[in-house]
A and B are shown apart, each in its own frame.
Chain A
Amino acid sequence: MSERAMTSNQTKILAVLAALVAVAIVVPNTNSFLILLATRALAFSILVMSLDILLGYTGLASLGQAAYLGVGAYLTAILATKYQFGLGYDFWLVLLFGIMVGGALAAVFGLLAIRASGVYFLMITLALGQCVWGLAYRWNSLTGGDNGINLRQRPKFGAIDLSNEVAFFFLVFVIFCISLGLMYTLVRSPFGRSLAGIRERELRMKILGYNTWLHKYIAFIIAGAFGGLSGVLWAHTAGIVSPINIELTNSVDALLMAVLGGAGTLVGGVIGSFIVFGLREYLSTLVPWWQYVLGIIYVLTILFLPTGLMGIPERIRQRRARNGNAGKPKQLAPAATS
């Protein structure tokens, strides 16, 4: 039993690695539109995975996750346009600052939000996210207000110019892979398992000796840090940072991508992100009411596939097992009569 569980785990890891290799080979050989689309989806999926740590593993549905992407993105844009900082090798520093500013913001917001749970947690994170949005919208001198900030160039590392789509794609791809690896290690670690325990039964965790508040707080900060990281990448991917990036719809999108792919799976969020980004671009060229299509997909997922797309293999297995059991007596019955 345990051996089978282990091998099925190994197959999953192999499948993910194979998919990553496939993406790395296929995407650079497509056209520049698709490369940019994949880059966007990858950068955003870091945010979705960070949200999944809260939603899927800790059981905290945050509706303000875009705020962390926002501060990372604004930091990058402000440093690049006002101080010409982060356009060379110092980009790595910006990456670090983005992680820190996302984590720091989460450390402040967490003090307010982690006290609550369920719907109240949702409402507080929503309100805090809107505060960041308001700040970006109103603080004209720093953020450019409604117009946002245009980034005129991407970083250059010596001969490697990231304005080249393929080079930039690989940068985002590598950072994405590292993030996925780090978060996967996190959720499999004792700390990550403690988050699952908190999701399942927080009271029991307290009685077992866990300071559940602290565990949730740390998870919240880690999620914020990865959110900040995705913001740095997002700023250079999109080339413009504006209040739209922090809007509620962006937080909701991240939440729905995680649910669509399957909460509590990490890679589910990535799949959700790719599907939504792809559908959005594709559908918007076909019909003006494309948002309704996405809406219907979300509703159908929540109604009929609560475990998300990643839950489909498990459901098929269960159905097969059920049909297998139901099928046996049927086969036996004619045999008995003959």
Chain B
Amino acid sequence: MATDATPNASSESALPALELKGLSKSFGGLHAVRGVTFKLMPGDRKAIIGPNGAGKTTLFNLITGIFPSSSGQVLLYGRDVTAWSSHRRTALGMARTFQVTHLFPKLTVLDNVLLAIKGLRPSKYVMWRFMSSYPDVYEKAHGLLERAQFMDRKDTEVRFLSHGEQRQLEIVLGLASDPKILLLDEPAAGLSSGESVEMSEFLQGLDPKLAILLIEHDMDVVFDVASNISVLHFGEMLESGPAEQIRQSAKVREIYLGTE
């Protein structure tokens, strides 16, 4: 049994967790994303950088199925999910956070996490039992909140949290479904420098088997978290490579890093 499982597991790990093939999206005449081809292996830590309006968030929306793509393919573990709706892609182990905080503002911190945990469980359709009758879900939520040091605020409505706390909770919600692929859309947006150091430490401490794709403007966070960087410019993948190579690339400096 174990010997059978090993080749299977290795063949699965040889499959990219996420693969994009010639992915494009146009809004009318605007080509927001053009022919992006990209691979994310299990456990990879990659970042996409690029100036504002380069199409980074649009790319995330295509990957997660919020927008339909104009052409090209999205593959999750070798399965073509291009025509799938968001919730089905999530069920394959993908999670994301949003650049602009997308929490449930009038629900408590605990309720936010409970909903996130329930998302991939069939019991989310149960309507004849109280939510509170699922101790395992509560235990898991408490575990997640303890790890993120939110236990003391678990009964606070999310709209009363500070911006930094909400950014952190975004990631807790992303992790609640035990994803294998995590897409982070500017997790450090609007954070103070101290807070973004904390954020990148938190991200570095995540399970090494988790594949992370990061969009970020804070280059310190990018270089801390990602080993591999791709540059998106006017919707096109300009250059990809190890972090050091991108840091030294003249072209990248010119369009992006040089502007700092």
Mark A residues whose CB is within 8 Å of B. Answer: 1-2, 5, 185-186, 188-194, 196-197, 200-201, 203-212, 218, 222
Contact = CB atoms under 8 A, between A and B. Distances in A.
Contacts of B131: 188-190, 192-193
A208 B132 contact: no
A200 B124 CA distance: 17
Given A185-B127, A190-B134, A209 B115 contact: no
B104 A196 contact: yes
B96 A197 contact: no
Q: Among the interface residues A185, A203, A207, A222, which one has the most CB atoms of the partner chain B within 10 A?
A: A207
B130 interface: yes
Contacts of A210: 87, 119, 124
Interface in B110-136: 111, 114-116, 118-120, 123-132, 134
A193 B90 CA distance: 19
Interface residues of B, number: 39
Contact of A191 (B96, B125, B177): B125
Interface in B66-115: 66, 85-87, 90-91, 95-96, 98, 102-107, 111, 114-115
A209 B155 contact: no
A188 B103 CA distance: 20
Nearest to A208: B119
Contacts of B91: 209
A193 B128 contact: no
Given A201-B102, A201-B104, A208 B173 contact: yes
A188 B130 contact: yes
B180 interface: no
Nearest to A203: B102
B129 A196 contact: no
A200 B104 contact: yes
A200 B107 contact: yes
A201 B102 CA distance: 7
Contact of A189 (B85, B116, B129, B177): B129
Interface of B: 64, 66, 85-87, 90-91, 95-96, 98, 102-107, 111, 114-116, 118-120, 123-132, 134, 154-155, 173, 176-177
Contact of A203 (B66, B116, B126): B66
20 contacts: A2-B155, A188-B130, A189-B127, A189-B131, A190-B124, A191-B126, A194-B124, A196-B104, A196-B111, A197-B107, A203-B66, A204-B104, A207-B96, A207-B102, A208-B115, A208-B119, A208-B173, A209-B90, A209-B91, A211-B87
B125 A190 contact: yes
B50 to A, nearest CB: 22
A208 B103 contact: no
B172 to A, nearest CB: 12
A222 B127 CA distance: 11
Nearest to B121: A190
B87 A193 contact: no
Given A190-B118, A190-B123, A206-B90, 13 more contacts: A2-B154, A186-B127, A186-B128, A188-B132, A189-B127, A189-B129, A191-B125, A205-B119, A207-B102, A208-B119, A208-B177, A209-B177, A218-B125
B64 A207 contact: yes
B126 A189 contact: yes
A201 B111 CA distance: 13
B127 A204 contact: no
Nearest to B90: A209
B225 to A, nearest CB: 21
B105 A200 contact: yes
Nearest to A2: B155
Contacts of B98: 204
